[in-house]
Amino acid sequence: MAFEYLKALHIIFVVTWFAGLFYIVRIFIYQVEAMERPEEEQKILLPQLNLMAQRLWYIITWPSAVLTLIFGIAVLYYRWGYMQLGFMHAKLAFVLFLYVYHIICDKIYKDLQKGKPKWTSTQLRIWNEVATVLLFAIVFLIVLKSMMSMVWGIVGLIGLSLLMMLGIKWYKKVRESK
């Protein structure tokens, strides 16, 4: 019974972590775009966006990342036999990439809070899709438990990524034409 509670908590914090990661990068985009606005608008937009980013990052996203890790280790402890299977190694590699993504987002967050953007809004839009690709990889691996399915999934993810990049470029053209 304890395993089911641990697994449920792990899934809940994975969901809240991803929600935070998806939304924080959107806020980054808004912050960068606000910095390009006239000074009067910046005075209104930036304090609010900085506050939103701070609350999201430190109240939802970071705690969710930590709790995901704690409950993930607990679930893995109960299912240690999975460590003998290749899909779990691949899944954990993608999870490691997700934590690297999180750390890079932390650096972006700190730069933006100082008012020193190092990424353009277009770069951040593309960066936002990295979390989507990682989510697909992790979920398909844990549900299908198959390396071959993962290979086909990765091929599909590459295709999805290319479609997302085309969509981003198309959206940028639409926004610039208005």
The CA distance from 17 to 134, in Å, is: 13
Is 10 known to sit in a ligand binding site? yes
Phi and psi torsions of 120, nearest 5°: -85, 165
pTM, to two decimals: 0.85
E-only strand ranges, the chain: none
User: Mean pLDDT across the chain, nearest whole number?
Assistant: 91
Q: Which residue has the higher pLDDT, 96 or 82?
A: 96
- CA distance linking residue 140 with residue 145, whole number of Å: 8
* 8 A C-beta contact, residue 60 and residue 85: no
Decide: residue 4, CB within 10 A, 0-12 exposed, 13-18 middle, 19+ buried.
Answer: exposed
Q: State the pLDDT at residue 86.
A: 77
| 116-173 pLDDT tens trace | 999 999 999 989 989 988 998 888 888 888 767 667 777 777 888 788 888 888 988 8
If one counts the domains in the chain, the total is: 1
Confirm or deny that 91 is annotated as ligand binding. Answer: yes
Roughly how many angstroms between the first and final C-alpha of the chain, as a whole number? Answer: 56
Q: Give me the domain span that covers residue 88.
A: 2-177
pLDDT for the residue numbered 32: 98
